Amino acid sequence: MEIAKLLVDILKTIIWPSIVLTIVLMFRKQIRMLLNRIKKFKYGEFEVNTESDRIEAVKKEIEDQPEKKSELIKSTLHDLNLELTKGTEKNAGDRTLLVFTANLSHKENLKYNIYYDPATRHHNSPFKYIGLYKDSEVFAIGEVKKIISCNYIDEKLIGTNGSDINSLSAAEYERIKEIIENTEYYDLETGTKFFLVDDFYPTHYKTHGYPIRQKKYFWLDEVEGFKEGMTAAEVAQLLNDKEW
């Protein structure tokens, strides 16, 4: 497919952002359709299965920093490869923290103890904890209690993708409704997945390398002092003032 070859060439050899912008504008519909189907990404000897939105995030960063394209791609592929290998280990989710960027949404995330994502976005590895990231640090950590995909129609939550709305308590139901109704900058009424946590506990887990692009897995068994079964509050305290 010509569009597929064109996209691979852009991702592997992009050095002229102005040319890329012209190509993207000319073929934006075709590229968007293709990105939704891409599950494999290759750079030199590196090759991993991935998600189209991750490729898009890396491509944008390469456009912004073309001189660092090799480092950025290799770093991202390294992280993705870890997701696919470490995520298959026994009880991997019990010692895994998945961190999401939360620049605009952090106030609502903390108020309702919910993080939200497109319902169509999948994650390669299981996880027990989620973290919120902005300003070069993970600033809050919570333990995931329920994940619900739903639409909000006529002031009622309608489960999607096999989610059972009846599994929610009355308080959980109201939390989802309120974050939908009170979030103005995103439309959360359709096609949204909600991660409900026990509480978000403050921490300061800082980065000294590249910033997180949408999400990043952390393997907590690599952190000195971590023990399986820790609460989110204990994990937040363990990571506080550390760097990765």
On whether the CB atoms of residues 152 and 189 are closer than 8 A, the answer is yes
Give Cα separations from 238 to 133, 152, 201, 202, 216 (angstroms): 17, 38, 12, 11, 18
C-alpha–C-alpha distance, residues 56 and 132, integer Å: 21
How many of the other CB atoms lie within 10 Å of CB of 28?
10
On whether the CB atoms of residues 239 and 203 are closer than 8 A, the answer is yes
User: Tens-digit pLDDT profile for the chain (244 aa)?
Assistant: 555 555 555 555 544 455 555 555 555 555 554 444 444 545 444 444 445 555 555 555 556 666 555 655 555 555 555 555 565 666 667 999 999 999 999 999 999 999 999 998 877 788 999 999 999 999 999 999 999 999 999 999 999 999 999 999 999 999 999 999 999 889 999 999 999 999 999 999 998 767 887 888 999 988 999 999 999 999 999 999 999 8
